[in-house]
């Protein structure tokens, strides 16, 4: 029955858009890597980030939460959550101030992003969204999220 449902949905399609490589996508973002700065571990960065993003409804936030769930990381709760549409989110997780977002949003929070700025540029050239993460005012990493 599942195949019949799929065929019925395909029959209703009147436009199909593919990228230059011919790849079909679901249009759903996912975390493709975790790039850390300084002494932050991947799991700790993902744990803190997912703690903030669990309170958000943004698709990129859902991708970060899903990545933590795949790794079976316990996701803590967030306090003082705030988000700025199209820019990022911040909150306190386990007593630590966590900021996630685009380059300008994170820099507006007083974080120096220079250590990973060129890596983020490279990720964007490859088609990923570079989500900067900072913990307690220091750059903690970048979470690239391409659309799959």
- DSSP β-bridge partners for residue 83: 89
Q: Is 45 exposed, middle or buried (CB count within 10 Å of its CB: 0-12, 13-18, 19+)?
A: buried
Determine which one of 14, 19, 82, 136 is catalytic: 19
Active site residue 19: yes
Q: Contact, 69 vs 42, CB < 8 A? A: no
- Dihedral angle over CA of 125, 83, 51, 38, nearest 10: 50
List the catalytic residues. Answer: 19
């Amino acid at each position: 029955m599942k195949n019949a449902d799929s065929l019925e949905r395909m029959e209703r399609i009147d436009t199909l858009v593919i990228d230059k490589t011919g790849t079909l996508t679901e249009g759903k973002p996912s975390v493709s890597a975790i790039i850390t700065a300084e002494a932050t571990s991947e799991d700790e960065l993902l744990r803190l980030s997912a703690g903030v993003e669990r309170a958000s409804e943004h698709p990129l936030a859902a991708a970060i939460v899903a990545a933590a769930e795949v790794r079976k990381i316990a996701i803590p709760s967030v306090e003082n959550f705030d988000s700025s549409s199209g820019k990022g989110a911040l909150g306190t997780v386990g007593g630590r101030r966590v900021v996630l977002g685009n380059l300008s949003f994170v820099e507006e929070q007083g974080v120096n992003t220079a250590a990973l700025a060129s890596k983020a540029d490279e990720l964007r050239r490859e088609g990923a969204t570079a989500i900067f993460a900072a913990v307690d005012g220091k750059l903690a990493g970048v979470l690239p999220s391409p659309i799959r």
